A and B are shown apart, each in its own frame.
Chain A
Amino acid sequence: MDFYPKVYLYRRIVKAKLFIDDNYADAIELDHIADEAFFSKFHFIRLFKKTYGKTPHQYLTCVRIEKSKLLLKEEIPVSGVCYAVGFDSVSSFTGLFKRMVGQTPSAYQQGCISKKLEIETAPLKHIPNCFAEMNGWTKKSNFQEV
């Protein structure tokens, strides 16, 4: 339903964003994304940035870093994560990750592993006591599934 002006522009920009979301692990070329959205390269970059506050390339990098955080939580080695999200150099991935996240992929992964272990062994540390008491969780000693 075209109830607002230039709906077709929004749909094409959104389509391009979703294309990045689905294909971030591949070697995506900006021209390819612009083609997907049926825009000229420069018009596409301008509209994308106006909509999302980032250029398509910046957005692709953000998606890759966010996906890499999820894989690091799964305890996949840093080099494996690097290639799985579409980067082709571990050193550039590490540098980019540190700049955007504030710590190296290895340090981030260690933090995630520690938190996961703490949630498994002492989950109440991560739950406001009022919620835990209301649910009777503070009376239990073992929260593992049987």
Chain B
Amino acid sequence: MITRLNHVSIFVLNQDSAYDFYVNKLGFKVHTDAPMGPGARWLTVTPPEQPDLEIALMAISEGMMFTKESAGAMRNLVAGGTFGFGVFECNDLLATYEELKAKGVEFTKAPTQEFYGFEALFKDDSGNWFSLGQKGK
């Protein structure tokens, strides 16, 4: 029986920029930041109240799991916001929305009460998009 998810990846266009976005704007914490040789880096962050879920900010680089062609295709998919998504949760959506907007986070949907919950949508610095919902609302 599977019991937990402890690692998940988000593909990013630039790890330095992603570090700034996830740590300094979203407030995530760095779990592991390990240089893995020239041009390679293992960088994971965790949501502030979920320290055992490591989100690996994965560079899209030719020569590792990508060929030149697949890396290019992947970069286009990520930049276009067409590769994957995630759902984050906060305690107060309106306050979090105002704070993240003040920090320069780009929202594509303002907080809206939908039939399934209260949510806003934002993009990270690479183009990945996320839903931000409020717990219990």
Give A contacts to B, CB under 8 Å: 1, 3-4, 7, 10-11, 13-15, 17-18, 51-53, 119-120, 123, 126-128, 131, 134-137, 140, 142-146
Total number of residue pairs linking A and B with CB closer than 8 Å: 71
Size class of the contact patch on chain B = 20 to 34
**Bound: A102/B56 CA distance, A:** 27
Complex contact B34–A119 (CB within 8 A): yes
Partner of A52, one of B32, B92, B102, B110: B92
Whether B99 contacts A18 by the Cβ 8 Å rule is yes
B36 touches A11 (CB 8 A): no
Interface contact B64-A3, CB-CB below 8 Å? no
Would you give the 0/1 interface string for B75-105, flagging 1 where the beta carbon is closer than 8 Å to chain A? 0000000000000000110110011001000
In the complex, which residue of chain B has the Cβ closest to the Cβ of A123? B34
Say whether chain B's binding surface is mostly helix, strand, loop, or mixed.
mixed
Q: Are B32 and A51 in contact (CB under 8 A)?
A: no
Q: Which residues of B contact A145 (CB under 8 A)?
A: 35, 37-38
Chain B residues with Cβ under 8 A from A131's Cβ?
A: 7, 9, 42, 56
B42 touching A123, Cβ below 8 Å: yes
